[in-house]
Structure 1
Amino acid sequence: MSQNKNKMQQNQPVSTSLSAKVTGIVFWGMVLVGLLVATYILNQRESQLTDEYNNNILYVKHEIENLYILHHKNIFDHQYMSNRVAGLFQSFSDKYPIESIRYEFAGHQYHFGELSRDQVQIKGQLLLRVESNTDIKVVDLDVYMRSFEQTITDSRKQMLLIIGTLVFTFGMILQQILQKVLSKPLLNMMTSAQRFAKEDQSVRFNENRNDEFGYLAKFINQALDSVISHQRELEVSQKALFEEKVQAEVTLHSIMDGVITTNSSNVIQYFNPVAERLLGLSSSQVKDSDLSDAIKLINEDTGEDVPSPTVSCLKNRQVEVLVNHSALIRNDGKAIPIEATAAPMRNDKGEVIGSVMVFQDVSQERKLSRQLSYQASHDMLTGLFNRRMFEEQLEAALMNVGVEDRHHALCYLDLDQFKIVNDTCGHVAGDELLRQLGDLFKSCIREGDTLARLGGDEFGLLLENCALKQATQVAEKVRESVKNFRFVWQDRTFEIGASIGVVGINIDNMDLATILASADMACYAAKDMGRNRVHVYEPSDALLSERHGQMHWAGRITKALEDQRMVLFEQPVVGIKENEVERKHCEILIRMRDEKDDIVRPDAFIPAAERYNLMTTVDRWVISQVFEYMGSTSCAGMDNVVAINLSGTSLADENLLTYILELADRHQTDLNRICFEITETAAISNLAKATQFIKALKDKGCRFSLDDFGSGLSSFTYLKTLPVDYIKIDGTFVVDMINDPIDRAMVEAIVRVGHVMKVKVIAEWVENEDTLNMLKDMGVDYVQGYHLGVPKEVMIG
């Protein structure tokens, strides 16, 4: 009961005093304003009354003087003028606060009105004309008016009465208005607020009013909704925070990284199980210990102590990373390579209150990194340096040539007959041969020399501080060792050779690209001179000049492709059997226009393109031009079957098949009209890949022709394996078959075997009618040569 009574006492004064306070403030404010207004008005009235009194005297003087002027004939008649002035005084006293006047004229006293003590006497003078209006008589005039203070007092009373009445009336009206407009809404809002304070969340303020209270109620309601919403979110957040705390603790216990937290003095506060395992210590052993004393970090490379990153983290107040190649020394003395990061922990004021260090065991990563570093610089098959590392070593050697005038030598080794081992016994045997040769090379050179596998069956040897003569002797030693080496694989024994190019490195020859190119040319010069020999680079050497010319042609070919100076020619392939006469074929041939717009024959630039791996680019250009032409025109200038030559390097390109199919799809090319010509040598060099390539395109409709057939020693054997549609007899057998019985026999054998295998036979280099007739008699299906049609340019684009 006492609590309820206290609550009622708390509520009642608030509801009563609020209205009274508001009304009282307004009422007394109005009273104050009324007093200020009354004071101002009274001050103005006092000044006004003073002016009125002075004006009244002037008026009285003026009226009396006028009266004497009007009655100048009777001005000395006392009775007459007394009556006239009495009437005038009566009018004065009715209008003005004049109670009495006194003056003396012509020996008579003129007294009008009653005198009293409170009256105000004001003296004046009358100017009266006498003696026919020429003389002026000055007469003293006394005017007695009502008391000035009395008039002011009466005015104050009257004004206060009026203002009091108005204030009271307006106050009562204002009280009712305030009660309705202000007090009642405020009391309702207070009541709602008290209900809400008692956790009645359903209460809402009245929003139906179209005034500030309605706006305020709407605002408060929105605030209440927001408070309730935030309260619910807070409850959810508190629950989620608790769950996150639990999850964080579980996470820190289960993650694979070690976690250690410290306070601002670097004293350990928390240790997760991974940190315990990595350190070989329990959290109870290190808790409340300085982190720098609890763990020991060293540099893996130098063994020097490394400070904990938490020290600099707390000092610099920023994230710190442990220096590279750091290791953690366990309690048992074992070193574990780690990576670690320390980050500051801050409170809500941004002050650093501690640090957290996260570290992980990177033993496997470091091991993998060392392996990758090794793989980046070594050939994984032989364990020798790779090309990149070899060139870095060569660049380093070139630097001391210029500074110390030293002499070095570079040897470029290319194995002879290596392909025989690969093709006969497979790549596994070839790989084993390379490994054994790598060991053999190392036994022939000095410990400080640099030996590298540059790719395939090519090796590089850098002989530092070695004159050219001694380098040549070393190269001969290596060549002789390879020649005497016998590679045994299963029941087969192989003899291997090596062609070696040697180039000297001195102050006059210090360009890396030039040195490599010179060694390469010298090596291939050794091959061209019969293989299994050493050739020393000489700029005046004719073979090297030819090789240099091929390098020059490589640049011209690239430039011609860029400048669109490659052109296509076509030569007819004519059917000479009755069932083949109507079928039209042609072969696409490539030519190049030089800088003077003259046509360059293919035998001038094709060898260079093959030597410097440009044939893939050339072949792709030819295919794209032909496919685009066949897909966008009626091909009136081309025959029904179009033969396109593919080089051996293109045939080995793993992406060529996809390129051809994408081009055909883009230009809507009919692949049934495409025949790809591949040389017998190119097909045999990679028989498995060639067979797979041919089968994939034949499934799409393409045809294939085996060019230069008969030039190989095993042509007929491989013909059974390759699924070709045509074989083209090597022109060297056809061109002189009339005079050479052996050539004629070879052609007859090829034709007979081809027909047995149901393959069409094409003879090229047909230069005269006699050769043509002989080929007809042999049953050749198609012929090609200058006797039947010279190549002519195909107008593409």
Structure 2
Amino acid sequence: MTFFLNKNNKLYLLPSILFLLLLVLFSFLRFYLVEREEGRRVALAKVVAHQVGNTLEMFSADRSRAVNNLINSWPDRSPNPVDWFHTHAASMKIVLPGIDDIWWLNPDFTVRWNISSENRSGLLGKPVTDFGINGDELFQQGKATSLTRLNKLLDLYVLRVDPNNLSLGYVVASFDIKTTLETMLGDLIGPQFSFSIYDGTTELLDYGVLVNDGTIVSVPVIFAEREWVLNLQSSHQMVLMGNLILVGGSLMSALICLFLFWQLRSAVRLSQSQLHYQAASEAALDSIMLYEAVSDGVSNVVDFTLVDANKITSKLFGKDMLKQESLSLNQHLDQMNGKDIFSKIKKVNENGEPFECVLSRYKGSQKQWLKLQIVKAGIGIAMTVRDITQRHLSQQKLELSEAKFRRLIDGLRGHFIYSMQASGEITYISHGVKDVLGYEASNFQHNGRNFVKHMPNNMQDIRQRQLQGDRTEAYLVTYISASKEDVIIEYTDSPIFDKHHNLVAIEGIARDVTADIQLREKIYYQANHDQLTGLLNRYAFDRKLQKVLNDIHTHQKIATLCYIDMDQFKLVNDTCGHQAGDKLLRNIANILGKSLKGSDILARVGGDEFCLVLKDTNSDQAQHRVQALLDNVAAFRFLWEDKVFHVGASVGLVQIDHSYTEAVGLVKAADTACYTAKNNGRNQYHLHQQGDNELAFRNAELDTLAQLQHALEYGCFELYFQTIKPLSEAHTRHSYEILLRMKDKQGNNISPAMFIPIAERHGLMTRIDHWVFETTIELLEENNEHVENLEKCAINLSGASLNSPSLLTKMLNRLKTSTIPVEKLCFEITETSAVMNLVNADVMVNEIRSLGCKFALDDFGAGMSSFTYLKNMSVDYVKIDGSFVKNMCNDVCDLATVKAIHDIAKSMGKQTIAEFVGDAKTEQCLKDMGINFAQGYAISKPQPFIEMLKTGLTAA
């Protein structure tokens, strides 16, 4: 700049000013474009971050809702709650990917069961607090979350099954954080983003490097009631347009100004062609030397003498070179290590054909490469010399880098790199294609289309979208490999555009996904088929049956459902073991499969239960096919070791028509028909008709009645007790209510809600009440020490017993001769039965109370009585119905009802007992209200009476 502003060179001030103005202009453009680029990156990151956050929250809400649905559908009673939980939880896990495992916790927070057999041995019995769950928080709030590591990073989401029944425990859903995030974020966030997800200070997943340049977007995400933070940043362009404009503009400005400068200086300093030549020579970047030919006097050129050279020559060959007046070409070539090209230079002088070459020499300890160009010039030659050392070294590095890159891409296993024209013609393919398909790269490049077995149906649409500038999703192409096997290749295209946004090439990476797809198909098959028989499983059958129902409603079709139950399977299974049972099931599945036609559907839906859908077949047609099927099964003889078994099947048929809308009701109807077929003699079928449900109900009732009569005959009842806890004062002696249980032939408990109504309808309650009374008195008489610590033992009496003078006489006689202090006995009667038998009930109550026994009015508030009846009844206790108690802390009406019953009973001189007390909060509320006694699961669960008498009960 000093030169430009020199007083003697005022003419050259214009290039400097122009350069400064252009530099300011391009700097402003660069600043404007950089600001816009950062704004675009922030806006794009915000949109994607909120979309990812919403998707993760929807994913979490969907899984949390499924856990709540599992809890809400929890049965009040189940013969085997573990099987119920395992079945429903496993189904939920299959339907909702992302759930790693589901646990069932005991009330003491230990793992009772989990559906994943891989971790079961290490989980069962282990407290969930070992995995970071806060036990106090879980007990108080009924839910909790934790981030833990069990072979992998898991998010645990815990919910209480029933706040009113703590014995049901808790359900834990564990989410595989890494798999879930990689699967979902891989689909939502492209490679142009860097991101990280944190749970507090724990990093869950990251991709790329976040640069703290003000463009990072942070979004909170709620996943399974845990707060995560998603940090997202859009990657900047490799070469920002603003910087490119600034650099290019600066260079262009410099070139323009330099050109103007040289033109102005040439105009001032030089004149005519000689001065122009001198300026061009001095401004050249190459060394320019002019040589005059030297002959031997016979017109033979023997050498050349240097006559002129530019300043670059002195920089290239030394400052003293221009001072040598008679430097010959041979001497100069000797300095450049190029004497062997002298003969070729002579030919240039002779015929005028230009010549160029590259020479190398050592300049000190560094090797130097020079490019020579020789042309004819007047009576001699002109030689330009350029130092190309840096370019040569850069070229060597580039070649080494390219060779390294090719070694890397050729070394990829299961992948290959490709480049193709917009038309789809391959221009480059890496050698990895041989590892994938077995073809040489050159062979595949020219003949790849001949190896294609199947192309995507939308291939033309993919190419059209790429021509329009859109980035397309990965697509699959199936090839026939060199070994004649099907290989599925996934192509991921990256379109390359010129500055006019025209598609010039398509580059990308291809990978062999054959094994992945086969694994996916295998998993799908295993999820929908029974592993033992290969038939559809219950889950897949339910979906197909619902589709059949939809088709029938939509297309006016018809079909028949057959529910098949094996008649002798349990005998084989119990006699010969599970291996024999498995083989029998496979054989039966083969027999059933041979009867299939076209679109029929066959599935195994239970242990020895199958479902068959006969499409486009009415019930009349189905009966012929089912009879043939039964004949085939009956003709089959199952051989196992030295045993031969005759097996059979019972089949229930239901014609599928417009009267059915859901698969559940349809299967239930078929199951009922199958049950009828079994009761009718087995190895036959029964067609479901209207009224079948009533028949099944009657059969079930008769079975229960038979079990009741057997229990009365042989004493197959069992007494339980449940503690009644005093709330108003401390008692050292204990009080409880006697409860009745009955077992079926398999030893499982039958709910009193099932057999008591049947006993009432068939006049057996008086006998049952007498058995309970006599058994209780006998057991108490055998345990004198226990009776000494007894405050009150409550025994239930039914409405039928209130109307039985004979039972009254037996009870009075027994009480008079018993050694038990009668004041320790209390009899409970329900308010409904007492009101319906008011006169008889009053007689019986007064007779028994005259001996000193107490009476309690049970289920008060749920029946038909009023406070007027209560006033006239000679009872000592009023038991408030549990329907008002169990939810009183959450329902104002229930709370008011309980308080009203207690206040009125208290005013009549009667004490109150609250039933169904399910938690400590309810117990405390009752205590504050003044209720005298409490009974429920929060106090104690029903336990065997005899075991208590043996071990003793130390607390009241």
Same fold (TM over 0.5): no
Taking structure 1 as the reference length, the TM-score comes to 0.39
Flag the structure with larger Rg. Answer: 1
Taking structure 2 as the reference length, the TM-score comes to 0.33
